[in-house]
């Protein structure tokens, strides 16, 4: 995190397939993947939270500037075609590991996320080339999503929070 106090690790956990009952007409689903998030104290090397289970594999982690919270994002339906993926973003309070708000549900695979300097907004970049700004307290979009020309791989706010940069595959 920017304060140098915390380190977060995310994992992918494969759950076993459950077989249907003999008279169940539905075939068994493919393996389901979930995730776990753990936060560590950098000074001691000790975990400050137990392993925090999250609904989806953890593919990305972003800290708020003040180190008070972390956003973990993954993908629901990892076995599906990428255009059908949905991401769920969880915002966890530090050092307690308590979820702070309802998860944000994003309509495509989240590539990156960034907190505004005041920690009230979260920007997301998705694989379908949209950048969206969210109010993390309400879970609402603050502006309509903006489609970029290139895949936005990295998001960063300016220190004053007035600007958001989206770095793509070939340009910013």
How far is residue 8 from each of residues 46, 58, 71, 74, 145, measured CA to CA in Å?
11, 11, 10, 14, 28
Residue 83: is its pLDDT beyond 50?
no
β-strands 60-63, 69-73: how paired? Answer: antiparallel
At residue 30 the predicted structure's pLDDT band, cuts being 50, 70 and 90, is: very low
Q: Residues 118-159: pLDDT tens digits?
A: 999 999 998 889 999 999 999 999 988 999 888 888 999 999
Structure-token pair, residue 147: 């489609």
pTM of the complete model: 0.79
Residue 155, strand partner residues:
166
Q: Residues 41-50: pLDDT tens digits?
A: 899 999 888 8
Grouping H, G, I as helix, E, B as strand and the rest as coil, residue 72 is strand
User: Within 10 A of 99 (CB to CB), how many other CB atoms are there?
Assistant: 14
């Amino acid at each position: 995190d920017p304060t140098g106090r915390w380190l977060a690790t995310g994992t992918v956990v494969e759950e076993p397939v459950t077989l249907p009952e003999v008279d169940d007409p539905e075939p068994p689903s493919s393996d389901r993947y979930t995730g776990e998030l753990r936060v560590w104290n950098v000074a001691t090397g000790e975990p400050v939270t137990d392993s925090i289970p999250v609904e989806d594999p953890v593919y990305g982690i972003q800290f708020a500037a003040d180190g008070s919270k972390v956003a973990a994002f993954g993908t629901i339906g990892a076995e599906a075609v990428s255009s059908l993926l949905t991401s769920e973003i969880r915002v966890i309070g530090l050092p307690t590991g308590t979820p702070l708000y309802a998860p944000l549900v994003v309509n495509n695979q989240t590539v990156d996320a960034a907190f505004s300097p005041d920690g009230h907004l979260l920007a997301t970049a998705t694989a379908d080339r949209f950048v969206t700004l969210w109010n993390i307290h309400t879970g609402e979009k603050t502006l309509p999503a903006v489609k970029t020309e290139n895949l936005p791989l990295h998001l960063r706010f300016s220190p004053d929070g007035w600007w958001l940069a989206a770095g793509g595959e070939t340009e910013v």
